[in-house]
Chains A and B, each alone.
Chain A
Amino acid sequence: SQTIHQWPATLVQPVGSPLSLECTVEGTSNPNLYWYRQAAGRGLQLLFYSVGIGQISSEVPQNLSASRPQDRQFILSSKKLLLSDSGFYLCAWRGTANNSPLHFGNGTRLTVT
Protein backbone atom coordinates (compact mmCIF):
# COMPACT_ATOMS: atom_id res chain seq x y z
CA SER A 1 0.00 0.00 0.00
CA GLN A 2 1.01 3.58 -0.53
CA THR A 3 2.22 5.74 2.31
CA ILE A 4 3.38 9.31 2.61
CA HIS A 5 5.89 10.50 5.17
CA GLN A 6 6.39 14.09 6.13
CA TRP A 7 8.78 15.46 8.73
CA PRO A 8 9.33 17.06 11.10
CA ALA A 9 5.92 17.23 12.75
CA THR A 10 6.64 20.53 14.46
CA LEU A 11 9.33 23.13 13.97
CA VAL A 12 10.16 26.44 15.60
CA GLN A 13 12.56 28.61 13.65
CA PRO A 14 13.78 32.21 14.05
CA VAL A 15 13.13 34.81 11.39
CA GLY A 16 15.84 34.79 8.75
CA SER A 17 16.80 31.15 9.27
CA PRO A 18 16.67 28.56 6.47
CA LEU A 19 14.00 25.90 6.11
CA SER A 20 13.93 22.41 4.70
CA LEU A 21 10.85 20.20 4.88
CA GLU A 22 10.94 16.77 3.34
CA CYS A 23 8.21 14.53 2.03
CA THR A 24 8.55 11.03 0.65
CA VAL A 25 6.03 8.66 -0.85
CA GLU A 26 6.25 4.87 -0.83
CA GLY A 27 4.41 2.22 -2.76
CA THR A 28 3.77 4.12 -5.97
CA SER A 29 5.74 5.52 -8.88
CA ASN A 30 5.57 8.78 -10.78
CA PRO A 31 3.09 10.43 -8.42
CA ASN A 32 1.91 14.00 -8.75
CA LEU A 33 3.22 15.81 -5.68
CA TYR A 34 1.91 18.92 -3.93
CA TRP A 35 2.88 21.33 -1.16
CA TYR A 36 0.14 23.27 0.61
CA ARG A 37 0.21 25.77 3.45
CA GLN A 38 -2.57 26.51 5.89
CA ALA A 39 -2.42 29.61 8.04
CA ALA A 40 -4.26 29.46 11.38
CA GLY A 41 -8.01 29.39 10.79
CA ARG A 42 -7.63 29.63 7.04
CA GLY A 43 -8.04 27.38 4.02
CA LEU A 44 -5.32 25.48 2.17
CA GLN A 45 -3.08 27.47 -0.13
CA LEU A 46 -1.41 25.58 -2.98
CA LEU A 47 2.30 26.43 -3.03
CA PHE A 48 3.88 24.03 -5.52
CA TYR A 49 3.00 21.01 -7.57
CA SER A 50 5.13 18.59 -9.55
CA VAL A 51 4.37 16.05 -12.22
CA GLY A 52 7.87 14.57 -12.39
CA ILE A 53 11.51 14.79 -11.35
CA GLY A 54 12.77 18.35 -11.70
CA GLN A 55 9.37 19.61 -12.88
CA ILE A 56 7.99 22.17 -10.42
CA SER A 57 5.13 24.58 -10.88
CA SER A 58 5.01 27.46 -8.45
CA GLU A 59 1.73 29.05 -7.46
CA VAL A 60 2.37 31.80 -4.98
CA PRO A 61 5.33 32.06 -2.63
CA GLN A 62 8.07 34.58 -3.01
CA ASN A 63 10.66 33.24 -0.60
CA LEU A 64 9.87 29.54 -0.78
CA SER A 65 11.11 27.01 -3.31
CA ALA A 66 10.52 23.36 -3.98
CA SER A 67 12.59 20.62 -5.50
CA ARG A 68 11.99 17.05 -6.58
CA PRO A 69 15.38 15.35 -6.71
CA GLN A 70 13.90 11.86 -6.88
CA ASP A 71 10.62 10.46 -8.16
CA ARG A 72 9.06 10.11 -4.73
CA GLN A 73 10.80 12.89 -2.83
CA PHE A 74 9.54 16.45 -2.59
CA ILE A 75 11.38 19.12 -0.62
CA LEU A 76 10.18 22.56 0.44
CA SER A 77 12.88 25.10 1.22
CA SER A 78 13.51 28.67 2.16
CA LYS A 79 16.76 30.57 2.47
CA LYS A 80 15.34 33.13 4.92
CA LEU A 81 12.10 32.61 6.80
CA LEU A 82 9.61 35.40 7.39
CA LEU A 83 7.11 35.66 10.23
CA SER A 84 4.37 35.22 7.64
CA ASP A 85 5.75 31.78 6.77
CA SER A 86 4.29 30.36 9.97
CA GLY A 87 1.60 27.81 9.31
CA PHE A 88 0.69 24.19 8.78
CA TYR A 89 2.55 22.71 5.80
CA LEU A 90 1.05 19.72 4.08
CA CYS A 91 2.52 17.46 1.45
CA ALA A 92 0.22 15.39 -0.72
CA TRP A 93 0.44 12.92 -3.58
CA ARG A 94 -1.97 11.59 -6.13
CA GLY A 95 -1.88 9.22 -9.07
CA THR A 96 -1.84 10.47 -12.64
CA ALA A 97 -5.39 9.45 -13.57
CA ASN A 98 -7.82 12.35 -13.86
CA ASN A 99 -9.91 11.24 -10.92
CA SER A 100 -7.14 10.16 -8.55
CA PRO A 101 -7.74 11.46 -5.04
CA LEU A 102 -5.16 13.37 -3.03
CA HIS A 103 -3.47 11.66 -0.10
CA PHE A 104 -2.04 13.97 2.53
CA GLY A 105 0.79 13.59 5.00
CA ASN A 106 0.37 14.46 8.65
CA GLY A 107 1.75 17.93 8.16
CA THR A 108 4.46 20.10 9.70
CA ARG A 109 3.45 22.90 12.03
CA LEU A 110 6.00 25.68 11.53
CA THR A 111 6.27 28.60 13.91
CA VAL A 112 8.58 31.42 12.90
CA THR A 113 9.59 33.54 15.89
Chain B
Amino acid sequence: GDSVTQMEGPVTLSEEAFLTINCTYTATGYPSLFWYVQYPGEGLQLLLKATKADDKGSNKGFEATYRKETTSFHLEKGSVQVSDSAVYFCALVPMDTGRRALTFGSGTRLQVQP
Protein backbone atom coordinates (compact mmCIF):
# COMPACT_ATOMS: atom_id res chain seq x y z
CA GLY B 1 0.00 0.00 0.00
CA ASP B 2 0.86 3.67 -0.09
CA SER B 3 3.29 4.95 2.52
CA VAL B 4 5.37 7.99 3.46
CA THR B 5 8.69 7.88 5.29
CA GLN B 6 10.12 10.94 7.04
CA MET B 7 13.37 11.51 8.85
CA GLU B 8 13.06 11.10 12.58
CA GLY B 9 13.23 14.08 14.84
CA PRO B 10 13.59 16.14 16.72
CA VAL B 11 15.60 18.38 14.46
CA THR B 12 17.23 21.15 16.48
CA LEU B 13 18.62 24.19 14.68
CA SER B 14 19.80 27.66 15.52
CA GLU B 15 17.93 30.62 14.11
CA GLU B 16 18.88 31.44 10.48
CA ALA B 17 20.20 27.93 9.84
CA PHE B 18 19.32 25.96 6.71
CA LEU B 19 16.60 23.35 7.08
CA THR B 20 16.09 20.08 5.24
CA ILE B 21 13.51 17.49 6.27
CA ASN B 22 13.65 14.37 4.14
CA CYS B 23 10.54 12.67 2.82
CA THR B 24 10.23 9.68 0.51
CA TYR B 25 7.09 7.91 -0.60
CA THR B 26 5.81 4.64 -1.99
CA ALA B 27 2.72 4.76 -4.15
CA THR B 28 1.28 3.37 -7.37
CA GLY B 29 0.90 5.91 -10.12
CA TYR B 30 1.61 9.57 -9.56
CA PRO B 31 0.32 10.86 -6.24
CA SER B 32 -0.12 14.46 -5.19
CA LEU B 33 2.33 15.39 -2.43
CA PHE B 34 1.86 17.71 0.53
CA TRP B 35 3.60 19.17 3.54
CA TYR B 36 1.44 19.96 6.55
CA VAL B 37 2.52 21.80 9.69
CA GLN B 38 1.18 21.51 13.22
CA TYR B 39 2.13 24.36 15.54
CA PRO B 40 1.95 23.76 19.31
CA GLY B 41 -1.66 23.67 20.42
CA GLU B 42 -3.03 24.15 16.92
CA GLY B 43 -4.53 22.00 14.17
CA LEU B 44 -2.96 20.75 10.96
CA GLN B 45 -2.37 23.39 8.31
CA LEU B 46 -1.39 22.93 4.70
CA LEU B 47 2.08 24.36 4.12
CA LEU B 48 2.62 23.53 0.44
CA LYS B 49 1.77 20.99 -2.23
CA ALA B 50 2.82 19.64 -5.64
CA THR B 51 0.63 17.64 -7.97
CA LYS B 52 3.02 16.38 -10.67
CA ALA B 53 6.65 15.51 -11.23
CA ASP B 54 9.13 18.41 -11.12
CA ASP B 55 6.53 20.74 -9.60
CA LYS B 56 7.90 22.95 -6.82
CA GLY B 57 5.59 23.88 -3.99
CA SER B 58 6.47 26.96 -1.93
CA ASN B 59 5.03 28.97 0.93
CA LYS B 60 6.38 31.16 3.76
CA GLY B 61 9.96 30.60 2.59
CA PHE B 62 9.59 26.81 2.55
CA GLU B 63 10.06 24.84 -0.68
CA ALA B 64 9.75 21.24 -1.81
CA THR B 65 10.25 19.72 -5.26
CA TYR B 66 8.38 16.61 -6.48
CA ARG B 67 11.13 14.19 -7.62
CA LYS B 68 9.59 11.18 -9.37
CA GLU B 69 12.94 9.53 -10.10
CA THR B 70 13.87 9.40 -6.41
CA THR B 71 10.25 9.30 -5.09
CA SER B 72 11.09 12.19 -2.78
CA PHE B 73 9.59 15.49 -1.63
CA HIS B 74 12.15 17.00 0.74
CA LEU B 75 11.22 20.18 2.62
CA GLU B 76 13.76 23.03 2.68
CA LYS B 77 14.04 26.52 4.08
CA GLY B 78 17.03 28.76 3.72
CA SER B 79 16.81 30.53 7.08
CA VAL B 80 14.62 29.21 9.88
CA GLN B 81 13.05 31.33 12.60
CA VAL B 82 12.02 30.47 16.14
CA SER B 83 8.42 30.76 14.96
CA ASP B 84 8.98 27.79 12.60
CA SER B 85 9.18 25.45 15.58
CA ALA B 86 6.46 22.89 14.94
CA VAL B 87 5.83 19.33 13.76
CA TYR B 88 6.00 18.85 9.99
CA PHE B 89 4.14 16.05 8.20
CA CYS B 90 4.75 14.84 4.68
CA ALA B 91 1.66 13.33 3.03
CA LEU B 92 0.34 12.00 -0.24
CA VAL B 93 -2.96 11.47 -2.01
CA PRO B 94 -3.06 8.68 -4.60
CA MET B 95 -4.19 9.65 -8.06
CA ASP B 96 -5.31 6.41 -9.59
CA THR B 97 -7.91 5.24 -7.09
CA GLY B 98 -11.20 6.58 -5.90
CA ARG B 99 -9.82 7.07 -2.42
CA ARG B 100 -8.80 10.69 -1.91
CA ALA B 101 -7.67 10.52 1.69
CA LEU B 102 -4.25 11.72 2.80
CA THR B 103 -1.62 9.21 3.87
CA PHE B 104 0.75 10.83 6.36
CA GLY B 105 4.28 10.21 7.48
CA SER B 106 5.06 10.01 11.18
CA GLY B 107 6.03 13.66 11.46
CA THR B 108 9.29 15.48 12.21
CA ARG B 109 9.52 17.86 15.13
CA LEU B 110 11.57 21.00 14.44
CA GLN B 111 12.96 23.03 17.31
CA VAL B 112 14.60 26.35 16.45
CA GLN B 113 16.68 27.98 19.13
CA PRO B 114 17.36 31.74 19.28
The answer to whether A and B belong to the same complex is no
- Interface, chain B (partner A; CB < 8 A): none
